[in-house]
Amino acid sequence: MDQHEPITGEMDMDEFRQSGHQLVEWIADYLEHPERYPVQSRSRPGDIRAQLPAAPPDKPESMAAIISDFEQIIVPGITHWNHPGFFSYFGITGSGPGILGELLIAALNVNGMLWRTSPASTELEEMTLDWLRQMMGLPAHFQGIITDTASISSMLAIAAAREALNLDIRRQGMAGRVDLPRLRMYVSDQTHSSIEKGAITLGIGQEGVRKIQTDDDFRMKPEALRVAIQEDMAAGWRPFFLTATVGTTATTSIDPVTEIGAICREHNIWLHVDGAYGGVAAILPEMRAILDGAEQADSFVVNPHKWLFTPVDCSAFYVRDPEILKRAFTLIPDYLKRSEEGVTNYMDWGVQLGRRFRALKLWMVIRHFGRDGLAERIREHIRLGQLVAKWVDADPDFERLAPTPFSTVCFRACPQGLATRLRSAELAETEQIEAYLDQLNGELIEAVNATGEVFLSPTRLRGRFTIRMAIGNIRSDETIINRTWELLTQSARQIDARRQPVAE
């Protein structure tokens, strides 16, 4: 009988300890001084791939070599979401306890699909989500599940709403059925695009999504919603789902959920409240009113990985009636049959069978900071956002383009005396003024981002190029806020002076 050399199994634990200690030291040093890196990666397309072998290695490589390549090749291609000057999108700060939680999650390698596949995973998820519910002041009847992102959470909400119609879509599907009404969903023109993607995925289609007009503060207009529903019902549509948002992506506007909820109840429309960004601000007693009306919701989502300092990904999805959600998704093959009574099997609550132990990192974050500590940090971000808003309002060369209910400020440079200068250059038409401002602000955001000190993002509001400064990183303080404003004001005046269309 042939003799074979024994195959080496797992990494040697001495090497694991040595490499683990080295990486923990690297992480601690990184978190202490993230400002040493440019916020936005300066890599160009293809730079990273050009430094990597085209084929995988045939022979084992040392962890020392792997860590070296991580530092030399990977890190320069990273945009640093943990940087205190990261204001481009809603922050997804990886805090210390959350990072340590991720380490334990990877080590335990739990698949929390059934209660019995790890009882602690399921029961900790139930309890941690109930803690979060209590902290935000949501009703006791809300029960939750942790998903990866609000995009998936919201898609589950649409699927549950569709199942609640009792149209036998789970069994028969939708294709080719002449007995089905055309289903209609409602969003505002500020609602996150993931809702529309969910409609596409679930067969509702883009034509089934109607966008409702918003007011001057970018909030959904209840009266416009009511008219739209009446028009759709008269035309044969079946209204069934609506998303109201607490903290929209572009402006962080807050829809009038109470009024919208009343209309939904009147027409038996599933109300989904998207609080992915803004919802956690309700942890602050003085901000609790942002969730007024959310008690009417059939489903609600908030992302701890946005403003609760939990490493991505972690989305908390709550439903009023889990039985409807389970009715939409429960499918139990023989190899997953179970005998336990009175337990939660989260595989029945959505599409995914495999489920990471995400509750562990959220539990560790909540315990480490406590409700008061989390509230204190969110409160400080709101204070900083209001400070920037005041600076914008007080500067004659800038203007704010949306209210600032939280800590995200939407503004643009608008030099004083611009209209007079443009008139003197015979360029006084409104379209020409707006075109100039778009170009000016486009150059401004590029110039500021190019410094590597901060990272801002653009959007368009009512057709106008808008700069967004989203303050939500646990490491952002007044020093970096001051520096960002200094960069903005100096750069705006330099750019405007260079390209002034003035006829001397």
Here the CATH number for the domain that contains residue 393 is 3.90.1150.170
Report yes or no on 292 lying in a domain.
yes
Query: What average pLDDT does the segment 402-407 reach?
Result: 97
Same domain, 385 and 434: yes
Asked whether residue 4 carries a pLDDT value surpassing 90, the answer given is: no
Same domain, 283 and 392: no
pLDDT band at 502 (very low <50, low <70, confident <90, very high): very low
Same domain, 159 and 306: yes
Same domain, 271 and 393: no
Query: With contact defined as beta carbons under 8 Å apart, do 133 and 253 qualify?
Result: no
* Cα–Cα dist 254/293, whole Å: 11
Same domain, 324 and 380: no
Report yes or no on 398 lying in a domain.
yes
Q: The tokens 């080295």 sit on which residue?
A: 22
In 3D, which of 17, 157, 7, 91 has the Cα closest to residue 381?
91
Q: Which CATH number is 255's domain given?
A: 3.40.640.10
DSSP state of 475: T
Q: What is the pLDDT of residue 347?
A: 95
Report yes or no on 96 lying in a domain.
no
* Cα–Cα dist 391/466, whole Å: 16
Angle between helices 193-201 and 150-163 (to 10 degrees): 50
Q: Is 335 left (phi over 0), alpha (psi -120 to 50) or beta?
A: alpha
Where a domain ends, among 328, 352, 383? Answer: 328
Weakest-pLDDT range from 170-184, 242-256, 419-433, 451-465: 419-433
Range of the domain at 174: 141-328
Mean predicted lDDT score pLDDT of the chain: 94
pLDDT band at 339 (very low <50, low <70, confident <90, very high): confident
Report yes or no on 390 lying in a domain.
yes
In 3D, which of 148, 146, 154 has the Cα closest to residue 198?
154
Q: What is the pLDDT of residue 6?
A: 67
Tell me the per-residue pLDDT of 80-93, one tens digit each, with 9 for 90 and over: 999 999 999 987 78
- Paired tokens of 390: 């005041």
Where a domain ends, among 272, 305, 328? Answer: 328
Asked whether residue 125 carries a pLDDT value surpassing 90, the answer given is: yes
* Cα–Cα dist 480/43, whole Å: 24
Report yes or no on 8 lying in a domain.
no
Report yes or no on 213 lying in a domain.
yes
Where a domain ends, among 328, 350, 382? Answer: 328
Tally of domains within the chain: 2
Report yes or no on 359 lying in a domain.
no
> What pairs with residue 188 in β-bridges?
212
Same domain, 420 and 315: no
Same domain, 150 and 276: yes
Q: What is the pLDDT of residue 91?
A: 78
Same domain, 151 and 235: yes
DSSP E strand stretches across 421-499: 457-461, 464-470
Q: Evaluate the CA torsion angle 261, 263, 268, 270 in order and state its sign.
A: negative
Report yes or no on 175 lying in a domain.
yes
Same domain, 146 and 288: yes
Query: What average pLDDT does the segment 436-464 reach?
Result: 96
Asked whether residue 293 carries a pLDDT value surpassing 70, the answer given is: yes
Q: What is the pLDDT of residue 503?
A: 37
Same domain, 241 and 314: yes
Same domain, 255 and 190: yes
Same domain, 306 and 382: no
